[in-house]
Structure 1
């Protein structure tokens, strides 16, 4: 494959349902695709499986009633403060419905002008018009309603404040909103707080825990107790969950899920090749139009085989060509570059590595897979990648 680099294929599978033997389905689907398309399985190829079908096959469904029960048991009062939930009908509205089912009153503190993953909640022009300082100023619900509630999401046309209000009140629960980028503002309303932000949750939680007395939990401390409910996630709790039915959510896969090694072993038994396997969720990329950060899961990959640990060690070919070998052309240039690649160091600060962003393999590969499979109706929950670990010096 002298003239071909990385190849990524979406692998079609049957529709996955609870109780299915997912590892067998993945392996059989890949082998069928291999026979049909004429590609072979090689060492260091990568099999990536979307987290959705892992959770579905394992039946990792939590009911809203179970979530409400867990919330009731872990908070002392019936007035709950929610700090920095993302604005998502798929990711958070079902959880909000469960929380409201457990409470008499909920105060929701939203960051502004955007949530953590980039969903806008108001227009920047309104902030400027009203001379609001996002670093210090608190916006009340009354002010939001009067001055900013005309905002609608650019893709869906939904005002998420109004939507969340409807969700909570639909469960017979009172709701209030405040808009502040200072987490402690919630303490002016309740001392029972659930931290809902994802990637900044540890910082938010530590800020709140400096105050006393109060109860502060985060979403990873709900639906996380072994044996208490039908489905739990000991590491992530409700983080990474999304709507399954009107009364259930699907939980994120566990860390170090053994299915990756089961698939790896089955492929080895069939082909004698040692492949790498990972589970992937949201990719770590940002939409340049909607300005939304795709990663609403706690991690890109909760589970992967050991060969996917680490980060790429790459040289910037255009830098080498333009600077180090600026007087070379053709075969001489190509050979000089290959020789340079073969002797590259492990020092991340080398000038020849400028612009090769040192991200983890699983974050890079998971992002590629998320873009390949999408989240809709392509029917390819498995992605097969060849030549990912090869470079210009690895010609065969």
Structure 2
């Protein structure tokens, strides 16, 4: 019988992961038990992915706000610090901000507008137009912002992030001044101590403020890049990718996940005889059409993955082939012609018209997005994902 299924994605239910749990055993047992329970088999190039959250939790990669404050205090000596371009998020940044404020005397909070880098809006572009404000050149004080826009609540959370972030800072005993600009260099007019809190543009931000005269410049990736008094840490990303755990702690991005994915791949090969790819994933990469939010608050989609997931897709657009190369064919002849064409396609289709419209993204970013959408961020209870047929095409 002709194969009727292409890519199949399964969310696998696992135990609730706690600190100290053996992730290798849990993932392998969950994957094998799910296949046995539902009666499906494994194939070469299957993919097993797991959320970064369960890996970090098993690692016990947590830190208190005091640990953040200690590191910030060491870096800035308790002086005034410019906290620039943070994202607007209770989950992602509120505890970080509390820890920063706990370690300094004053925070100059520089917010980008109309939105942060992941799409959380303070105001709309239409409102800027109506007020005659140019976000690329105009610098606003908090009073300026309130005069033009008043108190603005986030579309989904109902939070006025200006008031919220200011209250968090002041509750820690630090003074707070809020300004609005998309020019990082503006911060040196207020302080020469800068903490770049943006995620994907952090290297450029650091470069710009240093060139403008900032003296002490760090990013979130530099904070808790090593342990503070026994705290968790992330050598590569520091505080980037962290989440609120409790009111006084955060869960960091998993550290050193490569040995784990390789060990799981080895165990699954021993158990199934198949080469199965394995990855850890965080935020996928997609945009909410209503809230305009990009799900890109982690520094990378996948911090660890097996070698078979390296690279980008090499795909043809079926509708292009049907409308152009083989527009004179139909039915079985069209199917045979397209199948043969795919089987004999070039190993690198970059620049070819037949590949136009295919997604030019890394495999780990695509698969991570698929996994993230499948597992969700709430109570589905499926932090492990089994993907089959992802690398197949119309000719298989």
TM range (shorter): over 0.9
Quote the Cα distance in structure 1 between the aligned partners of 2:20 and 2:394.
44
2:312/2:361 contact within 8 Å kept: yes
Instruction: Output the CA distance in 2 between the equivalents of 1:247 and 1:352.
Output: 54
* Structure 1 residues 357 and 200: CA distance shift in structure 2, 3 A: same
Q: Distance in 2 between matches of 1:14 and 1:155?
A: 30
- Equivalent positions of 1:229-248 (< 5 A) are 229-248=230-249
Distance 1:356 1:328 in 2: 23
Three-state SS of the structure 1 residue aligned to 2:258 is coil
| Aligned equivalent of 1:370 | 372
Q: How does 1:196-275 map to 2 (within 5 A)?
A: 196-212=197-213, 214-225=215-226, 229-254=230-255, 256-275=257-276
Partner of 2:353: 351
In the alignment, what sits opposite 1:9? 10
Partner of 2:143: 142
- The equivalent of 1:179 in structure 2 is 180
Question: How far apart are residue 226 of structure 1 and its match?
Answer: 5.5
2:78 and 2:103 in contact (8 A); partners too: no
Among candidates 366, 385, 388, match of residue 386 of structure 1: 388
Map residues 50-61 of structure 1 onto 2, 5 A cutoff.
Answer: 50-61=51-62
Partner residue, 1:288: 289
Count residues in correspondence. 394
Change over 3 Å in CA distance of 1:306–1:228 after alignment to 2: farther
Cα separation, 1, equivalents of 2:161 and 2:344: 54
What's the offset of the Cα at 1:89? 0.4
| Structure 2 residue aligned with 1:167 | 168
The answer on whether the counterparts of 2:91 and 2:244 sit within 8 Å (CA) in structure 1 is yes
Contact 1:122 1:149 (8 Å CA) reproduced: no
Unpaired runs of 5+ residues, structure 1, are none
Task: Structure 2: give runs of 5+ residues left out of the alignment.
Answer: none
Q: Secondary structure of 1:278's match?
A: strand
CA distance in 1, matches of 2:111, 2:86: 7
Residues 113, 121 of structure 2: 8 Å contact kept? yes
Q: In the alignment, what sits opposite 1:41?
A: 42
Partner of 2:68: 67
**Partners of 1:231 and 1:256 in 2: how far apart?**
14
Distance of aligned partners of 1:241 and 1:213 in 2 relative to their CA distance in 1, 3 Å threshold: closer
Contact 2:188–2:214 (CA under 8 A) maintained in structure 1: no
Per-residue deviation, 1:211:
2.9
Residue 371 of structure 1 aligns to a residue whose secondary structure is helix
Q: Give me the CA root mean square deviation.
A: 1.3
| Aligned counterparts of 2:106 and 2:287: Cα–Cα separation in 1 | 35
Match status 1:310 vs 2:311: yes
**Residues 59 and 254 of structure 2 are in contact (CA less than 8 Å); yes or no, is this contact kept in structure 1?**
no
Q: Deviations over 1:189-244 (max 9, x none)?
A: 11100000011111111111113351110011110126764311000000000101
Matches within 5 A, 1:89-168: 89-168=90-169
Secondary structure at 1:270 match in 2 = helix
When normalised by structure 1's length, the TM-score is 0.97
- Whether the 8 Å CA contact 2:77–2:104 is kept in 1: the answer is no
Does the 8 A contact of 1:149 with 1:159 survive in 2?
no
Instruction: Provide closer, same or farther for how the CA distance between residues 227 and 79 of structure 1 changes in structure 2, counting only shifts above 3 A.
Output: closer
TM-score (structure 2 length as normaliser): 0.97
Name the CA distance, whole Å, in 2 between partners of 1:149 and 1:263. 53
SS for the counterpart of 2:231 is coil
